């Protein structure tokens, strides 16, 4: 089945700097790659997603890039703010007929220090 690896496990950045989280996936048939943000004690919430027919997608200060050949995708957060502190999860949809099942990475704890 699909395997998703996520790095780094923790990331500490100064407010205003950029943060980058990288994920690799194993199943070349995967075609949907969402990113979820989970604040302490809260539920995971979708912040951005990308499909396999797109190389990059931006939404204000966050962007995601996808390299299908290398089977990796990354989350970029620019001009980080304290409210960006959270755990971020990448995920991949395992197969076109997977009933929407997602394989999640282990998560990255992002800490933004003022």
Cβ–Cβ contacts within 10 Å for residue 54, how many? 12
CB of 112 to another protein, least distance (A): 21
Is residue 114 within the footprint of another protein (CB under 8 A)?
A: no
**Interface map 51-70 toward another protein (x if CB under 8 A):** x-------------------
* CA–CA dist 112, 94 (Å, integer): 32
**Using rule CB under 8 A, residue 86 touches another protein:** no
Q: Are residues 7 and 22 in contact, defined by beta-carbon separation less than 8 angstroms? A: yes
93 binds another protein (CB under 8 A): yes
Binders of another protein among residues 21 to 50 (CB under 8 A) are 32, 34, 42-46, 49
Is the CB of residue 65 less than 8 Å from the CB of residue 58?
no
Q: Quick one: which of 8, 81, 106, 113 contacts another protein (CB under 8 A)?
A: 106
> For residue 44, how far is the Cα from the chain centroid?
12
Phi-psi region of 25 (alpha: psi -120 to 50; beta: other; left: phi over 0): beta
Residues in contact with another protein by CB under 8 A are 1, 6, 9, 32, 34, 42-46, 49, 51, 89, 93, 99-102, 104-107
């Amino acid at each position: 089945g699909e395997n998703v690896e996520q790095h780094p496990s923790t990331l500490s950045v100064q407010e205003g700097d950029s943060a980058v989280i990288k994920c690799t996936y194993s199943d070349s048939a995967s075609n949907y790659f969402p990113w979820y943000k989970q604040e302490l004690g809260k539920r995971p919430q979708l912040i951005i997603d990308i499909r396999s027919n797109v190389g990059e997608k931006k939404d204000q200060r966050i962007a995601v890039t996808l390299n299908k050949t290398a089977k990796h995708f990354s989350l970029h957060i620019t001009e980080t703010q304290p409210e960006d502190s959270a755990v971020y999860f990448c995920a991949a949809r395992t197969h076109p007929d997977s009933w929407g099942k997602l394989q999640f990475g282990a998560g990255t704890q992002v800490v933004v220090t003022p």
